[in-house]
């Protein structure tokens, strides 16, 4: 099977790679197991040094890596460069704090000495998505390698150049061969990799279906998993909010990464007293986006990553419109693409879109819209906003906008989500744990909690 790198802005194939043979895959697994037996005994200081050098490699080549990200998945170049910088940040964060997070924790008991220690598990398989092809990988790899594990990356098949570049980055930073390897394989071979005794645990960021498949495979083998899946994140705005700030952040939160982010705001639940002003402000913001070649520095909205994502989004939007929703902006892919330069018309384009007056019973009730589509609902009060926000099977992040302390308290306590941000868009931060509940997954990445996911939390009792 061939793995192709295709420019989503033009539809042109950039490069084609052969999938690993069974023999080559076996070599990778054998090398990972052998290297772990050595790497686990390296000091925290040595691992931190290598992670710091990794950050330097990223920062020193951020323009190159940014261009690679943009070429393979289509985000605007400025956003791609920022992603590389954030990947360097997470490496530095765990280099600076990993030893502290993994230090023995003494516990007073009736033993002479008792404590909890944190030991690495072994080779960890990471199944990672294309939408943040560097950040998603480094936020797994930095804590995993700092803890003494070794990593095996099965990246999304549409970003093979990014996958190979990441392996090279760790090698260039001085990590020993086999500590981090990229596996160019298709999704159908993941279950067999998971079944291998040398793989000790797995993590996945992606769709619900992909997460369920990996979890089932790991469950059969009784292996630990961490899943970060989709989101239908609510963005709630009350009359007490700073409306101008809320509108500006709403546009950013929905269009970030060309609308292709699990934690992007997707459902805008706006108090009926301010919904018209919100809609007009949001429309103005989205009409000001610069759509075009994502390699051009002034572009603020690029293409979607694959033709299938466009087709899925078209189907969802058309279903909403058919049932009575109104497109305040966008929604017509064909006329939108016709306005693009000829060189871009073969790409995966979708217009910035606002749907409003959405009736019950549409895909907007429970499905994730993975693209530049804002779903706006008018609500009569905070009770209704929270009820609608919690009515979906997903629970990744939520954003609430209010200057009222009582409303803020209710939003933080009553929203069913792995993270609630007040007067800010939802974002990931190396210093804070990140993950979801319900069908958005389980386990946590980042923060102290993230580095503890793939270790043996061992109790030691001495008397």
Return the pLDDT at 62: 98
CATH 3.40.309.10, domain 234-429, yes or no: yes
Return the pLDDT at 43: 98
Q: CA separation (Å) from 135 to 83, 86, 275, 284, 358?
A: 6, 7, 35, 31, 34
Give me the CATH code for the 2-229+440-462 domain, please.
Answer: 3.40.605.10
Q: Give residue limits of the domains in the chain.
A: 2-229+440-462, 234-429
Angle at 148 between CA 461 and CA 61, to 5 degrees: 155
CB 93 within 8 A of CB 431: yes
Return the pLDDT at 1: 73
SS3 458: strand
* CB-based contacts of 33, cutoff 8 Å, min separation 6: 122, 123, 198
Q: Which two tokens stand for residue 428?
A: 């990931």
Return the pLDDT at 130: 98
User: What residues form DSSP beta bridges with 456?
Assistant: 119
Q: Which two tokens stand for residue 142?
A: 């930095």
Average pLDDT by stretches of 10, the chain with 463 residues: 94 98 98 98 98 98 98 98 98 98 98 98 98 98 98 98 98 98 97 98 97 98 97 98 98 98 97 98 98 96 98 98 98 95 97 98 96 98 98 98 98 98 98 98 98 98 97
CB 231 within 8 A of CB 396: yes
Residue 390 and residue 398: Cα distance in Å, rounded?
Answer: 10
Q: Are strands 123-128 and 150-155 parallel, antiparallel or unpaired?
A: parallel
Is 262 a catalytic site residue? yes
SS3 20: coil
Return the pLDDT at 92: 98
Which of 280, 278, 215 minimizes the C-alpha distance to 242?
278
Q: Are strands 353-356 and 105-106 parallel, antiparallel or unpaired?
A: unpaired
Residue 322 and residue 318: Cα distance in Å, rounded?
Answer: 6
Q: CA separation (Å) from 4 to 17, 156, 185?
A: 6, 11, 12
Sheet holding 113-120, edge to edge: 105-106, 113-120, 455-462
CB 410 within 8 A of CB 383: no
Confirm whether 2-229+440-462 and 234-429 share one CATH topology. Answer: no
Return the pLDDT at 60: 98
* CB-based contacts of 361, cutoff 8 Å, min separation 6: 323
Q: Which of 262, 367, 407, 453 is catalytic?
A: 262
Residue 313 and residue 364: Cα distance in Å, rounded?
Answer: 11
Return the pLDDT at 340: 96
Is 228 a catalytic site residue? yes
Residue 293 and residue 298: Cα distance in Å, rounded?
Answer: 9
What is the number of residues in the chain? Answer: 463
Q: Which two tokens stand for residue 235?
A: 């963005």
User: Per-residue DSSP letters for 381-405?
Assistant: SHHHHHHHHTTSSEESEEEEE-S-H
Which of 280, 277, 270 minimizes the C-alpha distance to 380?
270
């Amino acid at each position: 099977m061939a793995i192709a790198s295709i420019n989503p802005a033009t539809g042109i194939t950039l490069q084609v790679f052969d999938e690993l043979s069974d023999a080559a895959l076996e070599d990778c697994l054998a090398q990972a197991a052998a290297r772990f037996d050595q790497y686990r005994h390296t000091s925290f200081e040595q691992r931190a040094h290598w992670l710091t050098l990794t950050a330097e490699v990223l920062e020193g080549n951020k323009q190159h890596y940014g261009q690679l990200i943009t070429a393979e998945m289509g985000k605007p170049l400025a956003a791609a460069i920022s992603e590389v910088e954030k990947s360097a940040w997470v490496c530095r964060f765990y280099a600076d704090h990993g030893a502290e997070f993994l230090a023995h924790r003494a516990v007073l008991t009736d033993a002479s000495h008792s404590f909890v220690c944190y030991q690495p598990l072994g080779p960890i398989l990471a199944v990672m998505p294309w939408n943040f092809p560097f950040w998603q990988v480094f936020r797994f790899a930095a804590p995993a390698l700092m803890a003494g594990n070794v990593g095996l990356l099965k990246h999304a098949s549409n970003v093979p150049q990014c996958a190979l570049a990441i392996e090279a980055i760790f090698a260039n930073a001085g990590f020993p061969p086999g500590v981090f390897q990229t596996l160019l394989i298709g999704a159908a071979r993941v279950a067999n990799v998971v079944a291998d005794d040398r793989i000790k645990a797995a993590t996945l960021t992606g769709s619900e279906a992909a997460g369920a498949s990996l979890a089932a495979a790991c469950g059969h083998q009784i292996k630990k998993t961490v899943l970060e899946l989709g989101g239908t994140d609510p963005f709630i705005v009350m009359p007490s909010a700073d409306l101008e700030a809320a509108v500006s952040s709403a546009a950013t939160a929905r269009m970030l990464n060309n609308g292709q982010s699990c934690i992007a705001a997707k459902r805008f639940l706006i108090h009926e007293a301010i919904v018209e002003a919100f809609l007009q402000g949001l429309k103005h913001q989205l009409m000001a986006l610069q759509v075009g070649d994502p390699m051009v520095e002034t572009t603020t909205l690029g293409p979607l990553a694959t033709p299938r994502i466009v087709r899925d989004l078209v189907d969802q939007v058309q279903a909403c419109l058919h049932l009575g929703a109104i497109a305040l902006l966008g929604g017509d892919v064909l006329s939108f693409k016709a306005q693009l330069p000829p060189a871009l018309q073969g790409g995966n384009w979708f217009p910035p879109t606002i749907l409003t007056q959405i009736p019950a019973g549409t895909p907007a009730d429970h499905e994730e819209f993975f693209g530049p589509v804002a779903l706006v609902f008018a609500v009569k009060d905070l009770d209704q906003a929270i009820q609608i926000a919690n009515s979906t099977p997903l629970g990744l992040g939520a954003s609430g906008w209010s200057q009222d302390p009582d409303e803020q308290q209710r939003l933080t306590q009553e929203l069913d989500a792995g993270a609630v941000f007040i007067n800010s868009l939802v974002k990931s931060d190396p210093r804070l744990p990140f993950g979801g509940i319900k069908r958005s997954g389980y386990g946590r990445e980042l923060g102290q909690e993230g580095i503890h996911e793939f270790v043996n939390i061992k109790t030691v009792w001495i008397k």
